[in-house]
Amino acid sequence: MSPEKSSSTDPDALKMLAALERKVLWLASWMIHNANHLRENTDGLKVGGHQASSASLATIMTALYFDVLRPQDRVAVKPHASPIFHAIQYLLGKQTRERLEAFRGYKGAQSYPSRTKDSDDVDFSTGSVGLGVAQTLFASLTQDYVRAHGWGLDRPEGRMVALVGDAELDEGNIFEALLEGWKQGLRNCWWIIDYNRQSLDAVVREGLWARYEQLFTNFGWNVVILKYGSLQEAAFKEPGGETLRKWIDNCPNQLYSALVFAGGAAWRKRLNDEIGDQGNVSKLIEKRSDDELAALMNNLGGHDLPSVLNAFHNADPEKPTCFICYTVKGFGLPFAGHKDNHAGLMTPQQMETFRQAMGVRPGHEWDKFEGLAPTAQQLQSFLDHVPFATAELRRLNAPTLAVPESLSVTIQPVMSTQTGFGAILNEIGRGESDFARHIVTTSPDVTVSTNLGPWVNRRGLFARQAMADTFKSERIPSTFNWEFSPKGQHIELGIAEMNLCILLSALGLSHTINGERLLPIGTLYDPFIARGLDALNYACYQDARFMIVATPSGITLAGEGGAHQSIAEPLIGLAQDGLASFEPAYVDELAAIMDWAFSYMQKDGDTAPSDRTWLRDETGGSIYLRLSTRPVDQIKREMTPELRQQIVDGAYWQRKPGPNCQVVVAYTGAVAPEATEAVGLMAEDRRDVGLLAITSADRLNAGWTAAQRARERGLVHARSHIERLLADVPPHCGIVTVLDGHPATLAWLGAVAGHRTRPLGVEHFGQTGSLAELYRHYGIDANAIVAAAQAIAPGRPIRHLKALP
C-alpha cells in the first residue's frame, strides 16, 4: 500500500504483530479444543481439520488484518482458517467469547466463515472450496463496473483478497474465473496461496509452485513467491548458507513435511547425513541448538512477518497479484507437517503443553493479552489503531430502487415466454429511469439465443476500455450492435456457467460491498443450471440478489437436441433455499412476475409471514425464471390486481372447478395448451373439470409447509395459498398434474387436501423429435392427461381418449 508505511521494518510494530500472531494461534487452537464436545457426536476427525489448516495461515492473516488491510478491502478466508478469522475478530472486539465458546455449535461461530450466519463481519462466505476464491475476482470486476458507471467514486477502492488453500487450486472453477479476469482487465485482486503442500488426505505433488507461477503469469498476474523467511535469508548469507539453500530447494515436499513434524534432532541428523561433510555448512548446523535449527527450517516465507508484510505492502493495485506463500500445515503445533494432520486434534496432554508454552494460566484461556510480552495497555492501544478496524461500518447498504407499477409489453397473439422476456427487457431498455440504469445483464455466450439481444442493442456491452463493433464501423449490416464501453450494461462472459453464477453472486452483493445497488439478470440454458449449481447455491447462501433466467427448458426445446433437455431443474427451483422459482406459461404472467421480482430482490425486512400465503416475502431473495421457446396462444385478458397477486403467489384457477368436479388438471409452464386441450376433451364425460395454472410450485410448496408448521405451533388459522385454492375441491376429485419437468415437482399437491393424484412429467431424456412426438413419447400430451384422469377419476369412458403409445 502506501510506500511510507514501514510496519515490515518498524521493530515496535513487529513486536506487537508477533505477539498477536501468537495469540491468534493460541485462541484458534483453544477454540477448536474447547469445541471438542462435538467430538462426541461427530466422528471428531472433521473438527480436527481446522487445527492444522488454520495454523498455516496464522502469520499471513495476522499481517493482513492487523496491518495491511483497510476497511474497504474484502476477504474470502479459506474455509478451514475460520478459527483464525474469528480469533482475530475477537481481538478486534467484533466477536464475542460466547460465540467462540460455541464454535461449530448452535448459533456459535461457524465452522466456515459465513456472511449470513456469522456475526463478525465475514465479507464472503467460503466452504465449498474454490468458490470464495473466484468470488473475489468477480467482486473486483463488480467494483470496476460500479465505478465506471460513476457510482461510489467518493469511496476508496477496495482490494479483493482470497486466502487460498493450495489443494483448493484443484477446483476447475478457479481457472475458469482466471480466464474471465484476463478478458475483463482484472485489477485490485490478490490471491494468497497457502502453499503448505498438504491437502486433506496427503502431501501435494512436487513442483506445483512452478505450474502456478507460469499459469498466473500467463494470465497477466504478478506472481510473488514467499519461500524463505528472514531467519533463512540470514542463514543463507553465512558461510555454507548457499549449500543449505540448495538442499532446501531440492528437498521433496513429503520429506520436508516429515522433518518439520519430527523436529530439531531429526533435522540435524538428516542435514548432517546429506550435507554435513561439506565444510562450512556443518558449522552453520552445529552452532544451532535443536530448537534453533527447527526454528530455522520452519521459517518459511509464509511464517515470516517481515517478509509477508513487505510483500503485501508493495503489491501493485493495477494488476492482480498471486502470492505463493510457503507455509507449514499445523505450524507451531505438535502435529506440524504430519501428512495426517488435517484430521488431527491435539490431545488434552498436548494442549496442556501448548498452554504452558504460550504462558496461558488455567482459567485465563480467553484473556486477550494473557502470556504476551507487550503490556495489555500497549496491545490494546495497538489494536485500537488497526486500520482495518477503524471503519464504523464495513457492511454498506443502498436505497431501494423504485420499480414501475407494471412492466409494459406488447403481447402478440402467439408468443413464447422467452420472446416475452426479451420484449419486456427491451421495453425497460427504452427508458432512462434509475431502475433501468441499475439493471445489469450477463450471459455466458448465450446472450442472443436467450433473447437479450434487443436489450444489449439499447444499453451496450460493458468494458473498462471502449471497443468498437468492427462490423458496424465497416458498415456490414448486423442485427446486433456489439459495442463495448464503460457505460455498457451487459457483461458478456465466456461459456462457463460457474462464472455466470459467481458473477451474479458478486453483482448481487454490490449494495453491501460497494454501497450501490445493482439489479443483476443472468441468462443461460436451463440444463446448465446444473453446471453452475454449486455456485448458484453459494450465491444464495451469501444472500446475493439476482434474477437467473433459464431458457430454453425441458423437452419442449424438441429438435434443439436431446442432450439439452432439462428434467431436474424444477425440483432444484423447488428446493433451493433463497431462490423463488417461477415457470410461467403466458407472457402477461411473466410481466407480473418480473415486476414483483425486481422489488423482491431488493427487500431485506424481517416481518411475520403473510396471512395470505404464509410466505415471508419481506425478507426478499433471488429469482429463478424457467422459460420456454415454445410459441403459445396467449390469453386475451385483463390483468386485474387479484390475478396479478395470485400469479405471484404461485397459482390461480384458470377454470374454477364446480361443486361436482371429478377431475382437476394442474399444470405448469409450456404444457399449458395440452392441459387446456385435455380439459376440453374431458368436458363431456367428466363433470365440472377444473384447470389450475401453477406459476410457482416453489412458492406454493413453501407456503404450504410454513402454514402447516404454524398450525402445529398453535396458529390454528394459518392457511397457505394452495390450501385455499383446493379448499372447495370435493374430496373424491382426482388431480392430474403435468409439467415439462420431473413429475415430483407437483406430486405433493395430492397431500395438501388428500386428493388422489396422478403426476405426469418427464423422467427420461435424450430423444429428439418434434414437440408433438416428444410430448406423446414422454406422456405429457393432452391424450396422456386424459388417460391419467380416466384412471383416477372413474366414470364413463372418456370418448376422445386414444390408445397410449
Return all residues near 659 (Cβ < 8 A) that are at least 6 apart: 688, 728, 730
Q: How many residues does the chain have?
A: 805
82, 89, 114, 196: residue in contact with Mg ion (rule CB under 5 A):
196
The three-state secondary structure class of 484 is strand
DSSP structural state of residue 401: P
Burial of 607 (0-12, 13-18, 19+ CB in 10 A): exposed
Question: Does the protein bind ligand TPP through residue 167 (CB under 6 A)?
Answer: yes
Determine the Cα–Cα distance for residues 536 and 539; give it in Å rounded to an integer: 5
CA distance 702 to 710: 12
Among 7, 89, 95, 196, binds ligand TPP (CB under 6 A): 196
Residue 220's binding partner among Mg ion, ligand TPP, none (Cβ under 5 to 8 angstroms by kind) is none
166 binds ligand TPP (CB under 6 A): yes
Residue 460 binds Mg ion (CB under 5 A)? no
Cis peptide, bond prior to residue 552, ω within 30 of zero: yes
The least CB distance from residue 38 to ligand TPP, in Å, is 17
53, interface contact from ligand TPP, Mg ion, none, CB < 5-8 Å by kind: ligand TPP
* CA proximity to 392, closest of 72, 18, 787, 41: 72
Q: Is 45 in the site for ligand TPP (CB under 6 A)?
A: no
Distance CA 683, CA 420 (A): 31
Determine the Cα–Cα distance for residues 667 and 651; give it in Å rounded to an integer: 10
What span, in angstroms and rounded, lies between the C-alpha atoms of 662 and 756?
11
Is residue 298 near Mg ion by the rule CB under 5 A? Answer: no
Instruction: List the one residue from 21, 73, 157, 166 that touches Mg ion (CB under 5 A).
Output: 166
With beta carbons less than 8 A apart as the criterion, state whether 38 and 345 touch. Answer: no
**C-alpha cell of residue 373:** 510480552
Among ligand TPP, Mg ion, none, the one that 80 touches (CB under a kind-dependent 5 to 8 A) is: ligand TPP
Q: Which of 144, 168, 304, 740 binds ligand TPP (CB under 6 A)?
A: 168
Contact between 200 and ligand TPP per CB under 6 A: yes
DSSP structural state of residue 755: -
Q: Give the DSSP H or E segment for 441.
A: strand 439-444
Among residues 111 and 198, whose Cβ is nearest to Mg ion? 198
Separation of alpha carbons 347 and 355, rounded Å: 12
Q: Is 303 in the site for ligand TPP (CB under 6 A)?
A: no
Nearest-angstrom CA–CA distance, 392 and 421? 42
Q: Crossing angle, helix 11-34 and helix 305-313, to 10 degrees?
A: 110
For position 171 contacting Mg ion by CB under 5 A, the verdict is no
- What is the nearest approach in angstroms of ligand TPP to the Cβ of residue 49? 7
As given in the structure block, the three cell numbers for residue 316 are 501493485
Give the one residue of 113, 132, 165, 650 binding ligand TPP; rule: CB under 6 A. Answer: 165
489 binds ligand TPP (CB under 6 A): no
Grid cell locating 732: 373424491
Residue 176 contacts ligand TPP per CB under 6 A: no
Q: Is 121 exposed, middle or buried (0-12, 13-18, 19+ CB in 10 A)?
A: middle
Residue type at 394?
A: R
Find the shortest distance in angstroms from Cβ 61 to ligand TPP.
12
Residues 337-376 as x/- pattern, contact with ligand TPP by CB under 6 A: -----x----------------------------------
Of 198, 298, 512, 790, which lies in the binding site for Mg ion, with binding defined by CB under 5 A? 198
Contact 707, 614 (CB under 8 A): yes
Least distance to ligand TPP from the beta carbon of 21, Å?
17
Residues 6+ apart with CB under 8 A from 298: 260, 328, 331, 336
Question: What are the percentages of helix, strand and coil residues in the chain, rounded to 5?
Answer: 45, 10, 40
198 binds ligand TPP (CB under 6 A): yes
Partner that binds at residue 126, options ligand TPP, Mg ion, none, CB closer than 5 to 8 Å by kind:
none
For the four alpha carbons of 437, 479, 527 and 538, in that order, the dihedral sign comes to: negative
Q: 579-582 and 222-226: which strand pairing?
A: unpaired
For the record, the C-alpha cell of 164 comes out as 487460498
Q: How far is the CB of 628 from ligand TPP (least distance, A)?
A: 32
What's the longest Cα–Cα distance across the chain? 105
Q: Please report how close the Cβ of residue 493 comes to ligand TPP at its closest, in angstroms.
A: 21
Contact pattern for Mg ion over residues 645 through 684, marking x by CB under 5 A: ----------------------------------------
Q: Which stretch binds ligand TPP (CB under 6 A): 12-20, 124-132, 564-572, 625-633?
A: 124-132
> Quick one: which segment of 196-204, 236-244, 523-531, 564-572 binds ligand TPP (CB under 6 A)?
196-204
Beta bridge partners of 758: 736
CB of 228 to Mg ion, least distance (A): 19
Instruction: Using the rule CB under 5 A, give the single segment among 20-28, 196-204, 513-521, 635-643 that binds Mg ion.
Output: 196-204
Piece of 116-124, 162-170, 239-247, 681-689 that binds ligand TPP (CB under 6 A): 162-170
Q: Is 126 in the site for Mg ion (CB under 5 A)?
A: no
Q: For 412, how many CA atoms within 13 A lie in the half-sphere containing its CB?
A: 13
Per CB under 6 A, does 56 bind ligand TPP? yes
How many residues at the interface with ligand TPP, by CB under 6 A? 18
The entry of ligand TPP, Mg ion, none that residue 299 binds, CB within 5 to 8 Å by partner kind: none
The verdict on 329 binding ligand TPP (CB under 6 A) reads yes
Residue 759 phi, psi (nearest 5): -85, 125
| Cβ at position 129, least distance to ligand TPP in Å | 4
Task: For residue 180, state whether it binds Mg ion (rule: CB under 5 A).
Answer: no
- List the one residue out of 53, 585, 10, 142 whose CA is nearest residue 336: 53
With contact defined as beta carbons under 8 Å apart, do 519 and 600 qualify? no
Q: What does the CA dihedral 162, 165, 170, 171 come to, rounded to 10 degrees?
A: -40
**How many whole angstroms separate alpha carbon 403 and alpha carbon 435?**
6
Q: Which helix (H) or strand (E) holds 759?
A: strand 756-760
Please identify, among the stretches 80-88, 153-161, 195-203, 220-228, the one whose residues bind Mg ion according to the rule CB under 5 A. 195-203
Closest approach of Mg ion to the CB of residue 168, in Å: 8
Segment interacting with Mg ion, rule: CB under 5 A, options 164-172, 436-444, 668-676, 774-782? 164-172
Q: Is 129 in the site for ligand TPP (CB under 6 A)?
A: yes
* 167/536 with CB nearer Mg ion: 167
The correct pick among 144, 194, 543, 740 for binding ligand TPP (CB under 6 A) is 194
695 contacts ligand TPP (rule: CB under 6 A): no
| Residue 165 touching Mg ion (CB under 5 A) | yes
CB of 192 to ligand TPP, least distance (A): 12
Q: Does 128 bind ligand TPP (CB under 6 A)?
A: yes
Judged by CB, which is closer to ligand TPP: 197, or 721?
197
Helix (H) or strand (E) holding 230: helix 230-237
**Angle CA 449–452–453, to nearest 5:** 85
Minimum gap (Å) between residue 196 Cβ and ligand TPP:
5
Q: Which does 56 bind (CB under 5 to 8 A by kind): Mg ion, ligand TPP, none?
A: ligand TPP
Pick the closer one to ligand TPP by CB: 206 or 434: 206
Binding site for Mg ion (CB under 5 A): 165-167, 196, 198
Binding site for ligand TPP (CB under 6 A): 53, 56, 79-80, 127-129, 165-168, 194, 196, 198-200, 329, 342
